C-alpha cells in the first residue's frame, strides 16, 4: 500500500519534477507534488511524495529526514490526514 509523505523545508527552487527525482533515489515514487502559493505560483517550501511500498517509504524517511539539501534540512515524515475545517 502506498504511503504519503510530508516533505517540509524544501528549497524554494524545487518543483514537483525535482522533488520526484530526489525521492526516486529511495525507491519507486507514485506521485510528487510541491505546494505552491495560489496567487504568486511560488513554492511554499513543502510538498508531498507518495512512495509505492512501505519499504520505500521507510527508506525515504531514513535517507532524507534531516538531510541538508541546498542549505536546508529537510523534514520528512508520514503525512497526517488534513483536519476538517470548521
CATH number of residue 59's parent domain: 3.30.70.330
Q: How many CB atoms lie within 10 A of CB 86?
A: 3
Q: Is residue 83 part of a domain?
A: no
Q: Say what the pTM is.
A: 0.91
Examine residue 25 and state whether it is found in any structural domain, yes or no.
Answer: yes
Q: What single-letter DSSP state applies at residue 55?
A: H
List of residues 6+ apart from 74 with CB closer than 8 A: 7, 8, 9, 10, 64, 65, 66, 67, 68
Query: Residue 45 above 70 pLDDT?
Result: yes
The Cα–Cα gap between 34 and 32 comes to: 7
The answer to whether 10 touches 72, Cβ cutoff 8 Å, is: yes
pLDDT at 7 over 90: yes
pLDDT confidence band for 84 (50 / 70 / 90)? confident
Q: Indicate the number of domains in the chain.
A: 1
| E strands, the chain, in order | 3-8, 29-36, 43-51, 68-69, 72-73, 75-78
Residues spanned by the domain of 65 = 3-78
Q: Give the cell for residue 42.
A: 511560488
pLDDT in tens, 59-77: 999 999 999 999 999 999 9
Q: Which tens digits make up the pLDDT trace of 9-34?
A: 999 999 999 999 999 999 999 999 99
What pLDDT, on a 0 to 100 scale, did the predictor assign at position 75? 97
Q: Is the pLDDT of residue 86 over 90?
A: no
Amino acid at each position: 500500500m502506498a504511503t504519503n509523505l510530508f516533505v517540509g523545508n524544501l528549497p524554494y527552487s524545487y518543483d514537483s519534477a525535482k522533488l520526484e527525482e530526489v525521492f526516486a533515489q529511495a525507491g519507486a515514487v507514485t506521485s510528487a507534488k510541491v505546494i505552491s502559493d495560489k496567487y504568486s505560483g511560488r513554492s511554499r517550501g513543502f510538498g508531498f511524495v507518495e512512495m509505492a511500498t512501505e519499504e520505500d517509504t521507510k527508506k525515504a524517511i531514513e535517507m532524507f529526514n534531516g538531510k541538508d539539501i541546498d542549505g536546508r534540512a529537510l523534514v520528512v515524515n508520514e503525512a497526517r490526514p488534513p483536519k476538517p475545517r470548521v
